[in-house]
Structure 1
Amino acid sequence: MGRYLTYAGRLELLRSVLFGKVQFWLNIFPVPASVLKQIISICRNFLWTGDACRGSSAIVAWKNVCFPTNEGGLGLFDLQARNRSFLSKQLWNIHLKSDSVWIRWIHHFYLSSDSVWSVQAHHSSSPLWKAIITVREVISQHCGGSEVESVSMMRNWSNSTGPFLAHAYDFFRPSGPTVPWGRVVWERWSLPKYSFILWLATLGKLKTRDRLWFIPSDPSCAFCRCEAESHAHLFFACNWTGRLWDRIKDWLHIGRRMSSISSAIRGLYPKRSNLVSRMRRVSLGITVYLIWEERNKRIFNAKSREVEAMFRRFQILFYTVFYFHDKDRLQLFPIQ
């Protein structure tokens, strides 16, 4: 079934179904690293191939996929960090001596003469208790070994705006630099399949012919047949795709040149959130998606369309998104 879904469809299935089931167990047990590795392998295979059992080289490293969207990722959970965040919540409940049978049992069995911040796990301790102590050590090391600082940090997680688990997850997860293009690529009004292809194009990860050098094939652009195909050429240095993008910009009354994806993102960066600005950001995702779709049809199906036909196709997709969000103001973008 997965191979019939778009990348965005597979991502949504991972986020809502598969990760939901996994998180149930992450919430209860310390999951061994070998098990997490196998789960990640299944999820990675499904995302990039549509088949959980078929291995393939990932287009984007899984670590980067798990970054938040404002750090250049897809916002999937890092499973180890998620597991540790749940365990840290257990640690905090033990510190607070929360009123539950399990917490009372922990204090009776493990903490009869020690604090949770000083007790050590023994070889005979349960895997869950060992994992909680390991999480405690990670937090303690970050705070310079100070129990006071460790408690203060976790109290801030508990009292700050947002759930405790969210703050704990941000502490344990790998982090990357904030990217300037996240709010354009992941514009909330855009359809996920447009945003996903735009994300890959922004990262330079679409399978253009210059990246498939190891496969004997014609390296020339499927549109102009004059230059080698690359991300920079397709978006929008190519004469054919450049004419399509210029046609769309004229219709949307965009005066800036925007001759590449990076310059388009700079020009469309959300300085305001009015309707016209939002739809202009949506238009970039639709355009990149249509160009990539047309490129694949020309290569694999030997079918092609002219610039004007592509522009009409763009308008249909544009109005579909626009109608869903604000059908009463369609006159802002009249059909030419």
Structure 2
Amino acid sequence: QGDIKKHHRVSWQKICIPKNEGGLGVKNLETWNFAAVMKLTFRIAEGSQSQWSQWVQHNLINDQHFWTMQIPKDCSLAWQGIQKVRSRAVEFIEYNVNERNYSFWYDPWSSHGILREKFSSDVRHVSSIRDNKRLKSFIHHRKWLPPPQMSPEMRILWDSLFDKDIGPHTRKDKLIWKPHPRGIFTIKTAYAVLRLRVPEKPWEKIIWGNHIIPRHSFLLWQAVQDALPTQDKLVEWGKLNISNCALCSQGLTVIDQNQSPAIYNTIPRPKAWTQWYPVICSEQLHSYLTRPDSPSFINWRALHAATSRPPTIEHIFHLFFSCPVSSVLWENVMSWCGLSKINTSLHMEWIWIFHYFKGNSLQKLLSQAALAATIYWIWAERNETMAAAQLLGKPDLIRKNNVMGLRWKPHEEGWFILNADSSLTDDQAGYEGIIRGSRGNVNMAYYASSNTRSILYLELMGIAKGVQLALELGMKKLLIHSDSVQAIRTLLRNASNVENMLTDRKHS
């Protein structure tokens, strides 16, 4: 949404769908507000005894029928909003007939909706059912009594009513909210039926696992959505003249405004393929990369200075999978994860990843973390290369992507763990900490700088700040972890007077 010149890469609708359907799980406030207004509509329709509902009934509705009344021109925006959502609300409402006080023509008590809107005036006239008639006129001993004169259309209606249950007249009529299992209206269930729904995606746990660094997860999600600003998109948006892979570029600068892009028009931009694989390499580019004399990682630095071959278009799957630099990195990552990648066509790349990286075993979890880290560091290296024209060698790039696998025993349920630390350099000092749950989920992280250049003071302040935040969050069971033996011993000796101790230490 907004100015189309800004080249939004992911639509707001896609961002607002849940993570298991491919979005970010952000609440769509417009849809949420619509659901909140629908709650007011439901309260009016069910005849709530609240003071507000009674005021609306006597001052705004009066002797009209809520479902069919016209929207006044001089009414408030709130009342306009309530009436505008009626047509959607009636789709999810079911009338439970007991007391039989519903209007025959004006209330949507049947599966056919509001009968006055369904049948023409001629049909209503032939039926001899007046506008003010209520359901109790057509029910006797919990059985339907059709009128003596009926048109064929009305007969179809009455035939369908035999399947509708009638409760005892001693009970009050009740409105049922169908999306809720107990028939109770909640904004949560209303939002669930109103929001955009798409088929579930197989990558939720692979991308958004707790064992993956959040920034890695977010960038991997963008890569799956084909939402990263690769050079082929920048050329399409008019930001660059030439698309040339920054990692295996062959003599052309990334932003070369003196080169004419006409000679590259013969190399088409990759087109959409499937929902699994948004972009594939063009046949011309694919044949170039797979031919026997195609550059390998061993001579890619020398190739960087060559000018005899045309540039390689940088699109998402060349950058992350078919680029010689990325290919060698993937070989090392796959070997470290204990996986052997089969040779597949490029449009099957994501399908292979989502199939073989799925699972909850230790190997699978490490592989998922390695996948996200690899995508992240390839993109980071690409950005650094474009900005500084500086390339890392194979060992440096692989070292950046090193993922460590650690085993740890979860603590008992209800316990929280505080890891506090400090840092002291020549020009700055500070302390930080992170609070996790018993399963390793992050609850709180903090950082602060300090003018006091005492490592013991910084260690103690890091612990004290974490304890303070834990108390504010209601965490009563807290385990404190610190790599400073001196700080732990100091706390054990002076646990009852930590605040004064910190004050004294700061001024010492």
Q: Using structure 1 for the length normalisation, give the TM-score.
A: 0.69
2-side partners of 1:162 and 1:233: how far apart? 52
The partner residue of 1:266 within 348, 354, 378 is 354
Question: Greater helix share, 1 or 2?
Answer: 1
Deviations 1:246-278 (A, max 9, x none): 1011111122337765144323453x3233322
The partner residue of 2:377 within 290, 299, 315 is 290
Structure 1 residue identity aligned to 2:203: W
Which residue matches 2:296?
none
Which residue matches 2:284?
none
The partner residue of 1:232 within 294, 309, 317 is 317
The 8 Å contact of residues 246 and 382 in structure 2, kept in 1 or not, is answered as: yes
The partner residue of 2:76 within 126, 138, 158 is 126
Which residue matches 2:458?
none
The partner residue of 1:110 within 60, 63, 81 is 60
The partner residue of 2:334 within 249, 254, 259 is 249
Question: Is 1:307–2:394 an aligned residue pair?
Answer: yes
1:171/1:153 Cα in 2 relative to 1: closer, same or farther (>3 Å)? farther
Which residue matches 1:89?
39
The 8 Å contact of residues 176 and 183 in structure 2, kept in 1 or not, is answered as: no
Question: Is 1:219–2:243 an aligned residue pair?
Answer: yes
The 8 Å contact of residues 93 and 177 in structure 2, kept in 1 or not, is answered as: no
Q: Give the secondary structure class of the aligned counterpart of 2:197.
A: coil
The 8 Å contact of residues 70 and 179 in structure 1, kept in 2 or not, is answered as: yes
Deviations 1:12-62 (A, max 9, x none): xxxxxxxxxxxxxxxxxxxxxxxxxxxx75xx99xxxxxxxxx82212122
The 8 Å contact of residues 42 and 89 in structure 2, kept in 1 or not, is answered as: no
- Larger relative contact order (CA 8 Å, sep ≥ 6): 1
Which residue matches 1:28?
none
2-side partners of 1:274 and 1:77: how far apart? 32
1-side partners of 2:343 and 2:210: how far apart? 22
Question: Is 1:69–2:69 an aligned residue pair?
Answer: no
Higher mean alpha-carbon deviation, 199-208 vs 218-227, is at 218-227
Which residue matches 2:230?
208
1:266/1:129 Cα in 2 relative to 1: closer, same or farther (>3 Å)? same
The 8 Å contact of residues 298 and 304 in structure 1, kept in 2 or not, is answered as: yes
* Counterpart mapping for 1:143-182 below 5 A: 146-148=108-110, 155-159=177-181, 164-182=186-204
Question: Greater strand share, 1 or 2?
Answer: 2
Structure 2: 5+ residue runs without aligned partners? 95-106, 114-172, 251-311, 411-508
Count of residue pairs the alignment pairs up: 272
2-side partners of 1:109 and 1:168: how far apart? 27
The 8 Å contact of residues 181 and 265 in structure 1, kept in 2 or not, is answered as: no
Which residue matches 2:85?
135
What is the alpha-carbon root mean square deviation over aligned residues? Answer: 3.4
Identity over aligned pairs, percent: 25
Higher mean alpha-carbon deviation, 161-170 vs 179-188, is at 161-170
Flag the structure with larger Rg: 2
* Counterpart mapping for 1:19-30 below 5 A: none
1:158/1:253 Cα in 2 relative to 1: closer, same or farther (>3 Å)? same
1:112/1:73 Cα in 2 relative to 1: closer, same or farther (>3 Å)? same
2-side partners of 1:140 and 1:174: how far apart? 19
The 8 Å contact of residues 117 and 147 in structure 1, kept in 2 or not, is answered as: no
The 8 Å contact of residues 176 and 184 in structure 2, kept in 1 or not, is answered as: no
The partner residue of 1:198 within 193, 206, 220 is 220
